[in-house]
Structure 1
Amino acid sequence: MKVHSQLGNGFPEVIYQRCLAIELNKTELSFIKEFEMTVYYDSINVGVRRVDFLIEDKIMVELKAITRLEDVHLAQAINYLEAFKVETGLLINFGSKSLEFKRVTNEMKLKKEL
């Protein structure tokens, strides 16, 4: 919220990513910026996905700088959770006039843990 209140909307996603990294560095949380993972299909490497932040090896954070979040962005975040085998994620949109955020959960991972 601090990043959005200082910058407002209208900047590219990378600017918000850099500012959020500055704020995260002020905390005692461990995080990886632009965490990469290889995606496999039928045991064949088909590419690499990169999530904006992985915090404490538990929470995935995906940033957007668009007019408004849509279902396709939520689907992308859920796919990332499944691919990265993470239970919880945040989808944060800095592009709208008011900060938008959605908490997403990996239902497949939750079921396996029960």
Structure 2
Amino acid sequence: MSHANLINNYFNPNSVYTEEDFRRRFRMRCHVFERLLRDVQQINPYFQHKLDRAGRPGFSPHQKVSVALRMMTYGSPADSMDETHGTSESTCLDTFQQFCDTIVQVHKDKYLREPN
């Protein structure tokens, strides 16, 4: 249900919130979010939508990237994500670590340089 709300609120053509609302809440444009999502999905299988151990659908890639970006953008603690995204503290921390490692792996050659 959390995934459906996220998609309906931000990513559908007739979404609840506007592009400006998205930019204010995520601190980036929607196309940048989609690009980050696509990049991490291509490199890291953790960001693929799959079933959990109970056979139910796990967290979607949109949810995982949203959690990681929200923690990074606002400095939100991992345990606060349970209320808004329905993810446990350990899942949030794992997602954040996977996201950061993947982004560094994908973009290090272009954006990261040795200090001078």
Query: TM-score normalized by structure 2?
Result: 0.31
Task: Specify which structure has the higher proportion of helix.
Answer: 2
TM-score by length of 1: 0.31
**Greater strand percent: which structure?**
1
